[in-house]
Chains A and B, each alone.
Chain A
Amino acid sequence: MKKTIRNAGKVGTLKEALSRIHDQSILMYGGFGGVGNPPTLIQGIYEKGVKELTLIGNDAGFPEIGIGKLVSRRRAKKLIASHIGSNPAAGQLMATGEMDVEFSPQGILAERIRAGGVGIEGILTDIGLGSMVEEGKQKVTVNEKEFLLELPLKADVSIVHAKKADIYGNLIYDKSARNTNPLVAMAGEFTIAEADEIVGPGELDPECIVTPGVFVDLVIPSEGVNWKWAWE
Chain B
Amino acid sequence: MGVGVDVRNQIARRAANEIKDGMIVNLGIGIPSLVSNHIPEEIHVMFHAENGILGMGESPEKGFEDEMLCNAGGFPVTLVPGASYFDSATAFGIIRSGYLDITILGGLEVDEQGDLANWIVPGKRVPGIGGAMELANKAKKVIVVMNHINKNGDPKILKKCSLPLTAKKCVNLIITDMAVIEVTEEGLLLKEVMSPYTVKEVLENTEAELQVSDDLAIFI
Contacts and interface: CB of A to CB of B under 8 A. Distances in A.
Interface of A: 32-36, 58-59, 62, 81-86, 91, 94-95, 101, 103-108, 110-111, 113-114, 125-128, 130-133, 163, 173-183, 210, 225, 229-231
Contact of A106 (B85, B88, B126, B127): B88
B87 A176 contact: no
A84 B95 CA distance: 21
B68 A34 contact: no
B129 A176 contact: no
Given A106-B129, A107-B131, A32 B87 contact: no
Contacts of A173: 85
Given A106-B88, A106-B131, A180-B88, A33 B74 contact: yes
A107 B74 contact: no
Contacts of B69: 175-176
B49 interface: yes
Contact of B129 (A83, A125, A178, A230): A83
Interface string B125-140: 1111111111001000
Question: Most chain-B CB neighbours within 10 Å: which of A94, A105, A113, A174?
Answer: A105
A77 B51 CA distance: 26
Interface in B116-154: 120, 123, 125-134, 137
A181 B164 CA distance: 31
A231 B165 CA distance: 31
B64 to A, nearest CB: 12
Contact of A179 (B52, B123, B168): B52
Contacts, number: 142
Contact of A33 (B73, B86, B126): B73
A91 B62 CA distance: 31
20 contacts: A33-B70, A33-B72, A34-B74, A58-B88, A82-B130, A83-B128, A95-B126, A104-B129, A107-B91, A111-B89, A113-B89, A131-B167, A174-B68, A178-B52, A178-B85, A178-B86, A178-B87, A180-B87, A225-B67, A231-B74
A107 B51 contact: no
B127 A84 contact: yes
The 9 closest A-B pairs by CB, nearest first: A107-B92, A85-B127, A33-B74, A83-B128, A32-B51, A174-B68, A83-B130, A106-B131, A105-B133
B65 interface: yes
B75 A91 contact: no
A82 B89 contact: no
B51 A33 contact: yes
A176 B52 contact: yes
A126 B52 CA distance: 22
Interface string B46-59: 00011111000000
A4 B70 CA distance: 35
A35 B74 contact: yes
B89 A107 contact: yes
Nearest to B127: A85
A231 B133 contact: no
Contacts of B132: 105
A169 to B, nearest CB: 17
B87 A183 contact: yes
A163 B67 CA distance: 13
Question: Most chain-A CB neighbours within 10 Å: which of B68, B88, B130, B167?
Answer: B88
Contacts of B129: 82-83, 103-106, 133
A106 to B, nearest CB: 4
A133 B133 contact: yes
A81 B50 CA distance: 14
